[in-house]
Structure 1
Amino acid sequence: MKAYPKDQKEAVVKRLRELLSDPNAPRGAIADLAKQVQIPKTTIYIWNRELKDQIDRQDPTKRTPASLWSSEAKFQAVLATATMSELQLGEYLRTKGILKEELNDWRITCSKANDKTGEAVSKYRSALASEKVRSKKFESELNRKEKALAETYTLLELLRKSPGDLSGTKRSNDLPFRSPTCK
């Protein structure tokens, strides 16, 4: 890739930032920009990707799907929206890319986060106990199968390496077994 002067790159990146912030930007605007400034499209697209990455680093919740948000970011979203009106809430949800149902689920999760006496703890403990029993069962079954496999392998190796049953074989150079032409 050709090196471009820093001021030229900054001017193009500034225009890219304007295009990113404009929701009504036409399709192919980046290609048109490349023609205007006479820089290859691929270079402009690389700069655009770098700009998007920079924006993502500044505000990780801006472009990441809500399902990938950290628990702290979800909690901050719940706190930020607690006092908002419906209109403000709708705008916030659109800008952050959150569904209202997701936000409601996060509110419920946050409200139950410190519930140590409720049924959630007993459910968790019973589920943990059943998983431990299940894990122990799988472990014992795995050990049993490993032992059987090792035994089978050993038997197969013995069969492969053993000389076989030699009691019924006779040497052809013994006198009684020679052909009549050899006598």
Structure 2
Amino acid sequence: MLPPNNMPLGQLAKEEGISVATLAKWRAEARAKGQLLPDANAGPEGWTSQDKLAAVIETASMNEAELAEYCRRRGIYPEQLAVWREACARANDWERAAASRIARETRDDKKRIQQLERELARKEKALAEAAALMILRKNVWSAPLLQVA
């Protein structure tokens, strides 16, 4: 299952006479222990984020020659590792960016709510005035005419 072979589980199961379920279980246990075991049929683009993080951690202290050897064994390019390293470095910034975006949206929402409340109050006041005028107009037309003596 390890690179450079990266044999699919079905093929490995057939060659070794071990069930695919057993191999999948072993791979999951190895991954849980932190070992890098990407899916064989998925290229480096299909690696899980855990696999990519493990590769970044494994290569953090390597010099250029060791890194090149590591990449050859794993079937990846140093540029891919650099992209993954950058993504890992930015991974914790999303929380701060999300928090500032949420704060900005909350501020905008509060302003919009205040504007809508002012508009509603203005319309309620206008409606009350219109109702008062209608009542006054009704009272004027329905009042008996005063007779002058």
TM-score normalised by L of structure 2: 0.42
Higher relative contact order (CA 8 A, sep 6+): 2
TM-score normalised by L of structure 1: 0.35
